[in-house]
Amino acid sequence: MNPVISLRDIYVKKRLTNITLDINQGDCVHILGPNGAGKSTLLSIMAGVLAAEHGEALLLEQPLHQWPLSVLSTFRTLLAQQSEAVFAVSVKEYLSFFSSETVFELPNLLEATLEVTGFFPTPLNRLSGGERQRVEICRTLLQVWPAIKRGEAILLLDEPLQGVDIRHQYALMALFQTLCNKGNTLVLSSHDILLSANYSNTVLLMKLGTSVSFGLPESVLSVKNLEHTFDCHFAVNKRDDFLDIQVCAPIVLDQMW
């Protein structure tokens, strides 16, 4: 199987160093790491919105910079971390901009997961942070919905759980698994280690712009790797099919007593 995304020796000054990895169709990849680890930069490289200073980034075996944006935007979508909403347009009007349908209608699967139709009459700039995040996720998926239905989409999401309540976090994780099982490829960044441990098939641990470990969650998320990455004490236990990870005190506190 040829990889959907292939990165070779990616380097961006002060952000990424020697990142090499392959992501296959249907993979559900979660990127974990502390602030400043390079997660957002790496997603931008994968999306083709930022060029590496050194190395090669391929999408479907073709250099990313060779893809026409008009073609790329039909199957690749990027959710960036949100800034303050400045638009006073209604949520329904905003979402309709990104739908390929002549008459806008929200797919049932998206409404069941994100529950945004209740916001339709509301101006975008009147939503809470979590409500707007759900709308932005909806917008991101709508942009490539025809490709999603075919199982051919590439979904790149930078901290999609930011500000989202617990119920909708778990609903989103279930949705993402469903989309990947259909053949779509998803890469997201997160700070929720427990969710990532149990709702991904691949994890990338990053620290200071480098890859600490990349592979199956139960292999990558070892006590040794986690403590090296986050400078915290961890307890990791496997219970049936559930990977239980407990975060303890930061290691630096040991030195202050």
pLDDT tens across 48-83, in order? Answer: 999 999 999 999 999 999 999 999 999 999 999 876
CATH assignment of the domain containing 42: 3.40.50.300
Give the pLDDT score at 85. 61
Q: Is the pLDDT of residue 256 over 60?
A: no
Measured CA to CA, the distance from residue 155 to residue 24 in angstroms comes to 13
Q: How many other CB atoms sit within 10 Å of the CB of residue 178?
A: 12
- pLDDT interval class at 196 (50, 70, 90): very high
Identify whether the C-beta of residue 38 lies closer than 8 Å to the C-beta of residue 206: yes
- Enter the DSSP assignment of 24: -
Amino acid at 114: L
Number of independent structural domains in the chain: 1
pLDDT tens readout for residues 199-218: 999 999 999 999 999 999 99
- Which residues have a Cβ under 8 Å from the Cβ of 92 and sit 6 or more positions away? 104, 120, 121
Measured CA to CA, the distance from residue 156 to residue 154 in angstroms comes to 7
Q: How would you list the strands of the sheet with 185-190, edge to edge?
A: 76-79, 154-158, 185-190, 28-32, 202-207, 210-215
Amino acid at 34: P
- pLDDT interval class at 134 (50, 70, 90): very high
Residue ranges making up the domain that contains 180: 5-256
- Which residues have a Cβ under 8 Å from the Cβ of 45 and sit 6 or more positions away? 7, 10, 12, 16, 51, 52, 57, 64
